[in-house]
Amino acid sequence: MFKLEFWALLVGGIGSGFIYAMIAIGYTMVYGVLRLINFAHSEIFMAGGFASFFLLKATIGSTTPTGIMSVLYIILGILGGGIVGALLAMTLERVAYRPLRNRNAPKLAYLISAIGASYFLFNMAGKEFGRYNLSMVSPYVNHTVFTIYGAPVQMYYIIIFIAALIMLVTLDQLVAKTKLGRSIRSVAQDSETASLMGVDIDKTIALTFILGGFMGGAAGFLFGLNVGVVYTMGFTPAIKAFTAAVLGGIGNLRGAVIGGLILGVVESFSVAFVNGAYIDVVAFGILVLVLLFRPTGILGERIGRAA
Amino acid sequence: MNIFLKSKILKQLVATLMISFLVCVVTGPSGSPTAPASGFTGSFNNKSSFFGIFSAPRWTLFVFLGLLVYVSFRIKLKYSENVSSFTDKVLFIPRKISSNQSTRRVTIGALVVFSLILPKIVTDHFWQTVLVSQIAVYVLLALGLNVVTGFAGLLDLGFVAFYAVGAYATAWATGSLPLPALFGIHIDPFFAIPVAIGFAMIAGIILGIPTLRLRGDYLAIVTLGFGEIITLFANNLYGITGGALGSNQIPHFAINIGPVKYAWGLAPVPYYYLTLVFVVLFIIIFSSLEHSRVGRSWTAIREDEVAAESVGINPLKYKVMAFAIGAASAGFAGVITAAQSNFINPASFTLYVSINVLVLVIFGGMGSIAGVVFGAVFIQAVSMYLIHTPPSGYQSQDLYIYIGALLVVMMIFRPGGLIPAKRRGRSTVHAKVQVTEGS
Amino acid sequence: MENIFDVDDVTLRFAGIVSLSGVSMHQKRGEILAVIGPNGAGKTSLFNSLTGVYQPQEGQISFNRKGQDALSIIGKKPHKISTAGVARTFQASRMFNALTTFENVKIGAESHRGIGAVGAMFKGPATRRDEKISDETTWKLLNFVGLAEKANLISSSLSYGDRRRLEIARGLATNPEVLLLDEPAAGTNPSEKIELAELIRKVRDDMGVSILLIEHDMKLVMSLAERIYVLNFGSVIAEGTPAEIRANQAVIDAYLGTTSTDREK
């Protein structure tokens, strides 16, 4: 229980768990207000990754930064990825979803449109930026910061923990305490009444996409720091993040975080039992089990209406 | 008043120009990671010829086209109330043909004759091969997905799994897989047809029973995952499926019973006729289903599952039936692919294929047999043409840029497809009928 | 068995809300029984429990079919209950909008026949025979409810009153022993109400189908029903003949505050 492997796997699992959590936020928030699975969210993640890649490539010189410069570059990466993610999400909503909302289309029409948008976006990325993996210019020197029972905790994970925690807590407080957050929650519960009470539905929905898009794009940066970026990078993490969102309770913000962490850790530990190629099956298996036996997830649908 | 008009006109103009810039980039040259902006700069700055007369940067061509479209749109608006009336009239022709029994029979007869003599017209080897491997196969896939998504209203994003099962079952039955065939008997792919279809249908039932209780969008995601899992297994179970290498020893079709002897070889045309027979067969069967109690039950379930249950229709049974029947068509497509190219590997059975088939169905007309056949033939022919004679800067994967855009455009402007089904009502993608519930 | 329905101490709960609380009632075979009560009293929940849409947590519901064993309703799926002989209509008529009037009823008729997928694909003689029988049943029922001229119209184009009749025809097509009508008179004008009452009586008299109806229109209820249950806040507060109910103080109290336009004086 206290062996090195256990802690190493745990650290890795929490790291990827936070990334899943950040992507899952995008799914869960959009689902909360629109009851729609934003299938194209995977491309928002990818766009954030590429945006921060180009940003860092253009700004970081030949020497790897250290100290305070590292922190600044990391913040730059997060902002770059997040802002591009937010902008793309907003555009997506405007172009692919709002026309459907205006004619009251059924749920599946959005899903098909989302798939189309997703395919359009990642293949465009492939066309414009090439179809092979690109390593990010590192804004920091990756070293082992400390060890737990012999398991090394690298700088990379520290960065993820801190960055993710800051962003997630900020978002949580924003949704729980501010007027903006209240409008989101009210639209998620009952959009008709919300609009009667003066909430601007279109703006609130756009805001939801922006917030989820920022988180997803920033997640793309954090993900890319480790494994680089490639035009197909969105697919697998996004499906897993969706699983995390469902696991935690779709529509439930804190559930997305919990679901992400649980999924990340479970996945990490299943390396010990399952052949590496089949790890993805673990996430998918969790998804099917949750949907069949407890579709409201761990925390249940909270932002949205009761079943 | 004036200002308002101006801003709306301006907004439409800006939107039109942005779309033409987008088209400019999409059809332009590709970038690369070392020169990521080169795709964009090239798209705008490369010289292109205006009707062969003079050459100018591409962006001017697209601005010109955009303005042209915009201006003609505005002129059209001035002179007719409904801008899309012309396109509507053209697209209404299929409906007019099918509603009159004699015109319908004549058209079908003409199409049958045309498809029979098609190999005589199309003599290029590339196109003859494509006719089978890309067009006929995708017609079969589209027919199958049409049953699942068009008739029964279930969005299946993992449809390729049934195609794969059919192909691999064929390979297995003919002894071409590392996994030995049943009792070591190698049967000919022709007789593997029922085996493959059977396996595909069983796969449909196995997938369907647990998942068809799920709601529409969750079902879509789960089927997508299932398709990915199938690919994953195919890639990794080296001892069973041959792994990433697949199988390359699948024999051609051959019939050898008593006096009937015929062996298919490398030539595509005999495959074409065999496939054509089955396509016609499937069309007849599916059309018969559509107008039967089963088809009515599917429509009822799609329209209002609760009401359907209240008259004794078991939704799960009919949904699983749809899966199995759609899978049968896909399974047969797998047999054709396996036997014609003698080679299959997991790379031919990816999510791209599922999405490709989806776009054929959506574009052609969900729920309409004529529509999906048309959609399949049209889109596959166009995409094969683009591979055969690619315009400058076109990479083969660019196809999916267009497919993606087409899906979005179809959903927004014409969700019923080009040749919509006759029975629409509250279908999978049309506007919801407002059902008001009391207390 | 004298009773066609035996409902025994049924309690239905949703997250936080008790919709039905210890409800007991029975319906005699061949009876026209009405369930009334203010909005939110649990009437539709009762219907939904009888037809398998909701699953009560406590109690028992027994459907006593003619010449067969009693069927315990709770725990059965809605389509099985329909096949057993319970038909229903919905508060807001739920048509299969994409189908014609004829097809709507035909679906009801054929759902109890044995045409399978194979038959549907290959249209053999057995299938054709079954289709003919379904067609005949459908025409008979369309004539019975008076919708024969509108048989080929798309059902979404029918008027409110016609939709009600279509739902009744569709329900009857499943050859039921009991027909549950959920507010059949909602949205109809006085002359339509009279026609509706006649039709309901005809269904019971000519076809021997027991009727259980939810209604707000008191005049209709009082003239049509042979016995009435009154629900309020999920419990039965009164039961009896129309005359008894009219005089029942608890019922009058329950309805105080609602508009009196429908109340028979």
Please, how many CA atoms are within 13 Å of residue C33, restricted to the half-sphere of its CB?
Answer: 23
The first and second tokens of residue B136, run together, are 């006929």
User: Does the beta-carbon distance from B217 to A111 stay under 8 Å?
Assistant: yes
Mutate to test the interface with C, among B310, B429, B434 (most CBs of C within 10 A): B310
Q: Is residue C30 in a domain? A: yes
Question: Does C265 reside within a domain?
Answer: no
Please tell me the distance from the alpha carbon of residue B178 to that of residue B242, in angstroms, as a whole number. 6
The chain A residue lying nearest B433, using CA atoms, is: A104
Distance CA A275, CA A248 (A): 26
Find out whether B139 and B377 touch, Cβ atoms under 8 Å. yes
Mean pLDDT computed over C162-177? 92
| pLDDT, greater one: B134 or C120 | B134
B230 Cβ under 8 Å from any chain A Cβ? no
Model confidence at B51, in pLDDT bands (50, 70, 90)? low
| A&B contacts, CB < 8 Å | 153
Q: How far is B37 from chain C (nearest CA, A)?
A: 51
User: Any chain B CB within 8 A of the CB of C153?
Assistant: no
At B369-410, the pLDDT tens digits run 999 999 999 999 999 998 888 877 778 888 999 999 999 999
- What domain range is C114 assigned to? 3-255
Distance (Å, whole) CA B198 – CA A51:
49
- How would residue C114 be classed by pLDDT, with cut points 50, 70 and 90? low
Please report residues of C whose CB lies closer than 8 A to that of B204: none
A57 touches chain B (CB under 8 A): no
Hey, are the CB atoms on C97 and B426 less than 8 Å from each other?
Answer: yes
Quote the number of domains for chain C: 1
Chains with at least 3 CB pairs less than 8 angstroms from chain B: A, C
Cβ–Cβ < 8 Å for C91, C186? yes
We report the CATH number of the domain holding residue C180 as: 3.40.50.300
| Amino acid at site A61 | G
Task: Name the DSSP letter for residue A250.
Answer: T
Q: What is the distance in angstroms between the Cα of B406 and the nearest Cα belonging to chain A?
A: 7
Q: In sequence order, what are the beta bridge partners of C28?
A: C3
C-alpha angle B74/B76/B81, rounded to 5°?
Answer: 105
Taking only residues 31 to 60 of chain B, the set having a beta carbon closer than 8 angstroms to any beta carbon of chain A reads 31-33, 36, 39-40
**How many angstroms separate the CA atoms of B203 and B219, rounded?**
16
* C262 falls within a domain: no
In-domain check, residue C263: no
User: What's the rounded mean pLDDT across residues B214-230?
Assistant: 88
Structure tokens belonging to residue C73: 């309703």
Burial class (CB within 10 angstroms; exposed 0-12, middle 13-18, buried 19+) of C148 = middle
Contact A146, A153 (CB under 8 A): yes
Residue listed under structure tokens 């969790």: A286
**C105 contacts C166 by C-beta, under 8 angstroms:** yes
**Rounded to whole angstroms, how far apart are CA atoms B154 and A37?**
16
Alpha-carbon distance of B219 to B210, in angstroms, equals 10
Please tell me what DSSP assigns to residue C231: E
Give me the pLDDT at residue B425, please: 53
Q: Quick one: closest CA in B to C117, which residue? A: B294
Instruction: Tell whether C264 is covered by a domain.
Output: no
Check residues C137 and B427 and name the one with the higher pLDDT: C137
CA angle B421, B424, B429 (to 5 degrees): 100
B229 in A contact zone (CB under 8 Å): yes
- Report all structural domains of chain B as residue ranges with CATH numbers, in order of start: 2-28+37-86 (no CATH), 117-413 (1.10.3470)
Per-residue pLDDT of chain A (307 residues; tens, 9 = 90+): 567 788 888 999 999 999 999 999 999 999 988 888 999 999 999 999 999 999 998 888 778 888 888 889 999 999 999 999 999 999 999 999 999 988 888 888 899 999 999 999 999 999 888 888 999 888 888 888 888 777 888 889 989 999 999 999 999 898 888 888 888 888 888 878 888 888 888 889 999 999 999 999 999 999 999 999 999 999 999 999 999 999 999 888 899 999 999 999 999 999 888 887 788 888 888 988 898 888 888 887 644 332 2
Going by their DSSP bridges, the two strands C32-36 and C227-232 should be labelled as: parallel
**3-state secondary structure (DSSP) of residue B49:** strand
Residues A155, A142: Cα–Cα separation, whole Å: 5
Specify if C21 maps to a domain: yes
Query: Cα dist. B422→B218, B356, C145 in Å?
Result: 28, 24, 27
Q: Choose the weakest-confidence range: A199-208, B286-295, B318-327, C249-258.
A: C249-258
Instruction: Say which residue, C263 or B210, is predicted with more confidence.
Output: B210
Residue-range domains of chain A with CATH: 4-138+156-293 (1.10.3470)
In whole angstroms, how far apart are CA C64 and each of B25, B163, C6, C203, C209? 71, 49, 8, 19, 13
Report the alpha-carbon distance of residue B279 to residue B272 in Å, rounded.
10
pLDDT given at position B80: 64
* Residues near A136 by beta carbon (within 8 Å), at least 6 away in sequence: A52, A53, A56, A57, A224, A225, A228, A229
Residue A41 in contact with residue A238, Cβ under 8 Å? yes
C-alpha B355/C-alpha B37 separation (Å) is: 29
CA gap B146, B296 in Å, rounded: 15
A279 touches chain B (CB under 8 A): no
Which of B311, B428, B435 is the best residue to mutate to test the C interface, defined by the most C CB atoms within 10 Å of its own CB?
B311
Residue of chain C nearest B286, judged by CA positions? C121
Residue B411 DSSP class: H
Q: How far is C108 from chain B (nearest CA, A)?
A: 5
B157, B354 in Cβ contact below 8 A?
yes
Give the distance from CA C23 to its chain's centroid: 19
Is B311 at the interface with chain C, CB within 8 A?
yes
Return the C-alpha torsion angle B405, B407, B412, B416, nearest 10: 150
Q: Which of A105, A111, A281 shows the shortest C-beta gap to B220? A: A111
Beta bridge partners of B344: B247
Which residues, including other chains, have CB under 8 Å from residue B122's CB and lie 6 or more apart? B128, B131
Question: For residue A304, what pLDDT is reported?
Answer: 34
